Structure 1
Amino acid sequence: MLGIKSISRGFLRPSVHSSLTPATRAAIFTRTYAQKKRSQIDISKVPIKHIGCLAEFYVPPQLKNCPTSSWHRLLLRRFYNFALNTANVARYRFATKNKVYFNDWKEKTVENYVKTNKAFAAACSTRKSARDRFIKDQLSGAAGTAVIESLIRRSSTFPADAEVKWKLLDILENPKVVTFTSIPDESGVPVFIQLVTKVKTKQEMTVSTGKGEPTKTERSITDYLVSTIDPNTNEVVLVGSLFESDHIRKVQPEVSNNHAAMEELQRTSADIYRDPPKSIGSA
């Protein structure tokens, strides 16, 4: 969110294949369904707000940020990523006979993103004891459980007399689907979808902490938003964000078989206001 980094020093630190590993499945259900045996879990019954980011999906980096010696490989990876997404969509449609509503899903993703930013800013402007409940009430049905928990933690770091205002000034480009992944049940039939959507916006953030004049910042921001979707109800929730991949990693999603690592990935990606990773040096 715009403006977070400008005050963070004082208050905050700013495609999967058609089947998932047992550890990946287990990480999805840790909080709410830990008491059940894995063999008893029916993923179709799990609220999608509990299904966080499932993998380090590939996000094509901008060529200008990469060594020129890697450009030819990156162009090939862009083509491969497109081909992989096309194949994933085709497999999903063949298995389910469902249509894909990318425009509707992208629109809802942006709507949830705007709602999340506004709710967080408003929460930081309310009394501390009310911030927890305010965020939960405002983002019910719009954001995943891990995202809401992350926002609550961050809002608690703002002083009691803080006043934060957030405004969307413009959507600079049409939102673009970067990754399409279906989430299957135990029989291999897709029941949910996870999208990574590129959203480029112009935002304005005004922050007052009760000391001095308010700080107003205006910037263009590019986010790679992760949404979990129930295609049967068209329910869409924001479950996290990712950053551009470096010029070294390949296209296949990095899925960990380690339960703890999966939980950490979902927790980290749910913090949509975190700092980006440091760039890898030129190769």
Structure 2
Amino acid sequence: MKASSNALILRASSRSFVGLNSRTASNSFFRFNSTDANQDKRNSAPQQHVFDPRFIGLTRDIYVPVAYNKLPSPFSAPKQVWNALLRRFYTLGMNTVQVAFFRWQTGLKPQFLLWKNKAIESYVNVNKAFAAGDVKPIRKSVSVWVEKSLKSRVGSIPKNVKLDWKLVKFNETPKLVVFRPVMLPGRPVEYAQVIYKFNTQQELINVNLKTDKVKKIDRNVTDYVGFLINLDSNEVLLSGSLFENNIDDKIPRPEDINQDSMFEDMKINGDLFRAPPPALK
């Protein structure tokens, strides 16, 4: 099996959301999914902007705090540790503010338990679909960026290999890392974005159909998985994955997103099985 396939199958380390608070970013989704009036000259009626939430992926304006167990000793790097803790507290505070804003804007009570359970179900279904080599059953429950990446990854699995995947257990209770309403111009708040930390024990069975050799792999995997929540139906879309930020990374700002890089970010973060970045400094 190729090295890239091995990296995919073994899922070596932590991976899995992104915000969309920029007006420029929001407008681009409408343009990206709207019908061009010049494509059909026979129809002189004004074209309707059709919004497809599956095109909302993960961009770079989100901060995933460094895990406590990855921080250096406060005696060896006090400034780094202090700054990392401040950014963690800031992220927690922003989540609280965003929840309050969400309730004020919508008058709705956040269904955190329901959303978490549906997110876990989606996460399991996506992994099972990938292992089975068929992403069609989960197409409508993932972003277009995740779908495209999964199709490419499935195509890279050797034909003589059969995979089976199972979530053995959660090593800790899934944690909400980020919550924020999705603000789109001229529309009410219809969606929210969440990122969950899934620290799990997983089992992957690799069967070589030519030799009948079976390889069983048990690994602990930590994923930061992003979901888009439809506030009307409470359905969730798996949007992509993220990694923890580096200890020296500053909290990004929504205005740092530019349209030229936005779709590239969503494409990259839609690859759930990509290699992790270099280790934290």
Q: What TM-score does the superposition give when structure 1 sets the normalisation length?
A: 0.82
* Larger Rg computed on CA atoms: 2
Name the counterpart of 2:258: 258
* Alpha-carbon distance in structure 1 between the residues aligned to 2:18 and 2:199: 25
Please give the root-mean-square deviation of Cα atoms over the aligned residues, in Å: 2.6
Name the counterpart of 2:226: 226
Correspondence 1:9 to 2:3: yes
* Alpha-carbon distance in structure 2 between the residues aligned to 1:25 and 1:77: 26
Counterpart contact for 1:26–1:259, Cα < 8 Å:
no
2:139 aligned partner, one-letter code: S
- Contiguous gaps of at least 5 residues in structure 1: 1-6, 124-133
Secondary structure in 1 aligned to 2:58? coil
Query: For residues 203-244 of structure 1, what are the alpha-carbon distances to aligned partners after superposition, in whole Å with 9 as ceiling and x for unaligned?
Result: 100112445522211011111000011111111010101001
* Alpha-carbon distance in structure 2 between the residues aligned to 1:224 and 1:173: 13
Query: For residues 30-84 of structure 1, what are the alpha-carbon distances to aligned partners after superposition, in whole Å with 9 as ceiling and x for unaligned?
Result: 65336379xx886xx5232221114341111123323332112222221111111
1:272 aligned partner, one-letter code: L
* Alpha-carbon distance in structure 2 between the residues aligned to 1:226 and 1:209: 33
1:238 aligned partner, one-letter code: L
* Alpha-carbon distance in structure 2 between the residues aligned to 1:11 and 1:268: 17
Shift of 1:150: 0.5
* Alpha-carbon distance in structure 1 between the residues aligned to 2:20 and 2:203: 40
Name the counterpart of 1:127: none
Name the counterpart of 2:192: 193
* Alpha-carbon distance in structure 1 between the residues aligned to 2:92 and 2:188: 23
97, 101, 105: which one aligns with 1:95 = 105
Correspondence 1:64 to 2:63: no
Identical amino acids, percent of aligned pairs: 30
* Worse overlay, 163-172 or 11-20: 11-20
* Alpha-carbon distance in structure 2 between the residues aligned to 1:154 and 1:18: 27
* Alpha-carbon distance in structure 2 between the residues aligned to 1:264 and 1:18: 14
Distance 1:13 1:259, change over 3 A: farther
1:20 aligned partner, one-letter code: S
How many residues align? The count is: 259
* Worse overlay, 244-253 or 216-225: 244-253
* Worse overlay, 10-19 or 257-266: 10-19
Name the counterpart of 1:268: 268
Counterpart contact for 2:176–2:197, Cα < 8 Å:
yes
Secondary structure in 2 aligned to 1:67? coil
Distance 1:32 1:142, change over 3 A: same
Name the counterpart of 2:162: 163
* Alpha-carbon distance in structure 1 between the residues aligned to 2:31 and 2:277: 27
Distance 1:8 1:74, change over 3 A: farther
Secondary structure in 1 aligned to 2:277? coil
Name the counterpart of 1:32: 33
- Contiguous gaps of at least 5 residues in structure 2: 9-16, 39-46
